[in-house]
Amino acid sequence: MRRPSVILALLLAAGLAGASGCNRPPARPNVVLILTDDQGWGDLSANKNPWVTTPNIDRLAQQGTSFEHFYVSPLCAPTRASLLTGRYHLSTGVVSVSKGLETMASDETTLAELFRANGYQTGMFGKWHSGQHYPNRPNDQGFSEFLGFCAGHWSNYFDTKLDHNGQPVPTAGYISDVLTDAALKFIAANQAKPFFCYIPYNAPHSPFQVPDAYFNKYKAKGLSNELACVYGMVSNLDDNVGRVLAFLKERNLEENTIVIFMTDNGPNGTRYNGDMRGIKGSVHEGGMRVPFFIRWPTKIPARTVLPLPAAHIDVYPTLAGLCALQPVGTKKLDGISLAPYLLAGNATAAPDRKIFTHVNFMEVPATLNAGGFRSNQYRFVYEHNAPQLYDVDQDPGEKNDLAAQNPALTQQFLRAYQAWFTQSISGISYERPIVLSERGVVLPVYEANVSAGIKLKEGHGWAHDWAEQWPSTRDSLTWNIDCQTPGTYTVALDYLCTAKNVGSVLSCRVGQVEHSVTISRPFQAAQLPSPDRVPRKEAYEMAAWGQLVVGTFRVPAGKTSICLKALKITGATAAEINGLQLSFDK
């Protein structure tokens, strides 16, 4: 019986209710999409966390609508790909979180491209994690304004350098505050036009760093250093969300701005998360169920909780519906528009669908382990080469595996998951050459194929990691590239070297051409101050790197490799290598 009112609401939202051409349609709504990193469902006071206080984020839930069961992927990059495209991450080419496997195909249509094609100003402020090189960076994928970083994580949250529209710039202050400042500046500059402002904060992802006032607040409650820092980072995020909400109100933008708050996966550690099973990286409820709050005053009902399962893949079609955007691109969306349920304030006749998931920890090729789906009633999981089945309506903590008791249903669900997985990976190529063009390119060590004898500083090969020890002339670093602009390129080496290692000789081969260079002078630098609250997993950020020109190379069009080798090693190691920089000459 609610269908007519839903249709009317959608028409009003689309600005189509006027019967006469002289009736001006209402202004299209602005959108502020806030995404936090590694903040679990339980990291909010709205979800009864006994320690953390998040009054501003909680207020978004009170003033808008929330989804009781909202799902993302178990890891960062897959969630971002699905959020930006409305498609399952495997279908976009995103397999994992590093080594190029986080790179989203450049022919995917992003939310930014959708909004920009519909006349919106587009800005992004924070963590991208969908590709570090042209043509996969934020500015290549629809964002006119960008401040943040493209890698999977950042190594220093205070006074760090960030990427501003493709150029490194120094910043002053704590990173979440800096990103908020930039977002508010963007909103102020575009307040007379419709805008899409995406703020993907990188807190509370490690390394665990936060200003003293936030840390001390939770240490005073007797928490461990890690928990005090995580909750301090969450409190700082809450203050910054409060700044965004206050700015919208101050500029009279509140009424016509859709604000969304969500997170990208389960918590990055064992802490309060309701009674759910699993944390970040898990395909159980605790690894993927996150908060999702959406506010649009007078359009979306306040203090409303919708029970239907929903997911990151639904955000793209939902915003397209709420903002009456004309479609862009031809690829089929996997998500559904939640606009009718949001505008009506109920989930009558919601579909019983399967929301699929998959997690991969850098294995190539991707396999069926681990993944599954959530339906309205069940959580189906496939891991350790065996299926599991849980009735999450009755067993939200997934304590009672029903697979053995329901073999027919379990096999039916397994076939559905297998079919989805097979279809999703059908177009994937695991070759991820880095595009070389007239823009030049930076080739960091952590994106190279590293031979076994070279030791990385941290070890995982995450952002900012570098080759710390190079003891043998048998070892090498190799990058696969795809040259789209054939021509002459100058190759420079970023390095550190002590006086006792001066004299080492390195060679660089691009295709069939090879040049060698001798490290003739030492270069040492300090790591940037890094006030970690607990020992970190990530590499540290160095204040500077020495640079040495290796030579000039004629690079043909197409795919080739760039290989760096040591011809002579003076002392125990050739040098510490951060990567190569290629600049286009002609």
Q: Which two tokens mark 176?
A: 């979440």
* H or E element at residue 233: helix 225-250
The closest alpha carbon to 503, from 567, 546, 547, belongs to 567
What pLDDT, on the 0 to 100 scale, is given for residue 311?
98
Strand 513-518 with 505-510, pairing: antiparallel
Amino acid at residue number 347: A
Q: Which domains does the chain have, with CATH numbers?
A: 36-326 (3.40.720.10), 356-424 (3.30.1120.10), 434-584 (2.60.120.260)
Residue 298: both structure tokens together: 């007078």
Number of helices (H), then strands (E), belonging to the chain: the values are 11, 29
Sheet with 161-164, side-by-side order of all strands: 167-170, 161-164, 145-149, 121-127, 195-200, 30-36, 257-263, 292-295, 65-67, 304-306
- C-alpha distances in Å from residue 196, one per residue of 14, 34, 184, 320, 323: 16, 11, 12, 12, 11
Q: Please name the residue ranges forming H helices in 17-143.
A: 55-63, 76-85, 111-117
What would the two tokens of residue 488 be? 């002459």
Q: Coil, strand or helix: which one is 256?
A: coil
* CA atoms of 68 and 288, how far apart (whole Å): 13
Q: Phi, psi at residue 170, to the nearest 5°?
A: -75, 145
Looking at residue 2, its pLDDT comes to: 33
Tokens of 454: 């070279």
DSSP 409-465: HHHHHHHHHHHHHHHHTTT-----PEEE-TT-EEEEGGGSEE-TT-EESSSS--TT-
Q: β-strands 65-67, 304-306: how paired?
A: parallel
Based on C-alpha coordinates, what's the Rg of the chain? 25
Q: Is 463 exposed, middle or buried (0-12, 13-18, 19+ CB in 10 A)?
A: buried
Residues in the chain: 586
CA distances for 172 relative to 18, 177, 179, 562, 575, angstroms? 49, 9, 11, 36, 31
Q: H or E stretch including 149?
A: strand 145-149
- Please name the helix (run of DSSP H) or strand (run of DSSP E) that holds residue 87, with its range, or none: none
Please report the DSSP string for 180-209 in residue order. HHHHHHHHHHTTTS-EEEEEE--TTSSS--
pLDDT at 26: 60
First to last CA, the chain: 68
What is the distance between the alpha carbons of residues 134 and 127, in angstroms, rounded to a whole number? 16
Q: Quick one: pLDDT at residue 14?
A: 39
* The two structure tokens encoding residue 494: 């970023």
- Torsion angles phi and psi, residue 61, rounded to 5: -65, -40
**Structure confidence at residue 23 (pLDDT):** 42
E strand or H helix at 477: strand 476-483
Strand partners, 310: 70
How confident is the model at residue 240, as a pLDDT?
Answer: 98
The four Cα atoms 89, 94, 96, 101 give a dihedral, to 10 degrees, of 180
pLDDT tens sequence for the chain (586 residues): 333 333 333 333 433 333 333 344 568 999 999 999 999 999 999 999 999 999 999 999 999 999 999 999 999 999 999 999 999 999 999 999 999 999 999 999 999 999 999 999 999 999 999 999 999 999 999 999 999 999 998 999 999 999 999 999 999 999 999 999 999 999 999 999 999 999 999 999 999 999 999 999 999 999 999 999 999 999 999 999 999 999 999 999 999 999 999 999 999 999 999 999 999 999 999 999 999 999 999 999 999 999 999 999 999 999 999 999 999 989 999 999 999 999 999 988 788 999 999 999 989 999 999 999 999 999 999 999 999 999 999 999 999 999 999 999 999 999 999 999 999 999 999 999 999 999 999 999 999 999 999 999 998 888 889 999 999 999 999 999 999 999 999 999 999 999 988 999 999 999 889 999 999 999 999 988 889 999 998 899 899 999 999 999 999 999 999 999 999 999 889 999 999 999 999 8
Report the pLDDT value the prediction gives residue 12, as an integer from 0 to 100. 36
**Would you state the structure tokens that stand for residue 245, as one six-digit string?**
């909400």
**Long-range contacts, stretch 190-193, CB < 8 angstroms, 24+ apart:** 190/121, 190/123, 191/251, 191/253, 193/119, 193/120, 193/121
What sign does the CA torsion over 317, 321, 327, 332 have? positive
